[in-house]
Amino acid sequence: MQNFVLQNPTKIIFGTNTLKEIGPETAVFGRKILLVFGRKSIKQNGIYDQVLSSLNQAGVSVVEHGGVVSNPLLSHVRAGIAAAKKNQIEAVVAVGGGSVIDTAKAISAGALVEHDVWQFFKGKKSIRQTLPLTCILTIAAAGSEMNGGMVITNEETRQKFGVGNRILNPRVSILDPSLTFTVPADYTAYGAVDAIAHILEFYFTTQDPATPVQDRFMEGLVINIMESCNRVLQNPADYQGRADLMWSATLALNGWTAAGLGKVGFPMHMIEHSLSALYDIAHGAGLSIIMPAWMGYQAEKRPEKFIQFAQRVFGITGNNQQCALQGIERLKNWFASINSPTTLGQVGINESAIAEIADNALALAALWRLNDYNREIIMDILAACC
**Calpha distance 182→160 (Å, rounded):** 28
**Calpha distance 4→134 (Å, rounded):** 27
For the chain, the residue count is 386
**Calpha distance 212→125 (Å, rounded):** 37
Are residues 196 and 182 in contact, defined by beta-carbon separation less than 8 angstroms?
no
**CB count, 10 Å around CB of 126?**
9
| Domain boundary assignment for the chain | 11-179, 185-383
Task: State whether residue 154 is helix, strand or coil.
Answer: strand
Give tens-digit pLDDT for 276-320.
Answer: 999 999 999 999 999 999 999 999 989 999 999 999 999 999 888
11-179: CATH architecture? 3-Layer(aba) Sandwich (3.40)
In order along its 386 residues, the chain shows pLDDT tens digits of 999 999 999 999 999 999 999 999 999 999 999 999 998 889 999 999 999 999 999 999 999 999 999 999 999 999 999 999 999 999 999 999 999 999 999 999 999 999 999 999 999 999 999 999 999 999 999 999 999 999 999 999 999 999 999 999 999 999 999 999 999 999 999 999 999 999 999 999 999 999 999 999 999 999 999 999 999 999 999 999 999 999 999 999 999 999 999 999 999 999 999 999 999 999 999 999 999 999 999 999 899 999 999 999 999 998 888 999 999 999 999 999 999 999 999 999 999 999 999 999 999 999 999 999 999 999 999 999 99
- The b-or-e profile of 315-340 (16+ CB within 10 A means b, else e) is ebeeeeeebbbbbbbbbbebbeebeb
Give tens-digit pLDDT for 222-273.
Answer: 999 999 999 999 999 999 999 999 999 999 999 999 999 999 999 999 999 9
**Calpha distance 282→270 (Å, rounded):** 15
**CB count, 10 Å around CB of 311?**
18
Q: What is the pTM of this model?
A: 0.95
From the candidate CATH numbers 3.30.70.1880, 1.20.1090.10, 3.40.50.150, 3.40.50.720, the one assigned to the domain spanning 185-383? 1.20.1090.10
